[in-house]
């Protein structure tokens, strides 16, 4: 999960802006807990595509 679309219950601002201490703490916690949170959906899709390509090549090498 990313903090791009989260709204703070304390200050009603976007968590990504870090307007108050609650926003900043939540944003830091999210970034610590999930290392893939900073990746965009496009980057995640590209990573998945690369992994599938490697798996396909490995399968073809094993059967050849």
**In angstroms, how far is CA 31 from the centroid of its own chain?**
9
Over residues 18-32, the mean pLDDT reads 86
Q: Which two tokens stand for residue 37?
A: 């949170």
Eight-class DSSP state of 12: -
pLDDT of residue 56: 96
Residue scoring higher pLDDT (49 or 18):
49
Q: 20 near 10, Cβ under 8 Å?
A: yes
pLDDT of residue 34: 67
Residue 38 DSSP SS3:
helix
Q: Look up the pTM and report it.
A: 0.47
42 has a pLDDT exceeding 60: yes
Q: Read out DSSP for 22-59?
A: HHHHHHHHHHHH-GGGGS-HHHHHHHHHHHHHHHHHHH
């Amino acid at each position: 999960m990313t903090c791009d679309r989260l709204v703070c219950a304390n200050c009603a601002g976007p968590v990504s802006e870090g307007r108050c201490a609650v926003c900043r703490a939540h944003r830091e916690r999210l970034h610590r807990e999930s290392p893939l949170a900073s990746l965009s959906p496009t980057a995640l899709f590209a990573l998945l595509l690369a992994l599938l390509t490697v798996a396909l090549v490995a399968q073809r090498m094993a059967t050849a």
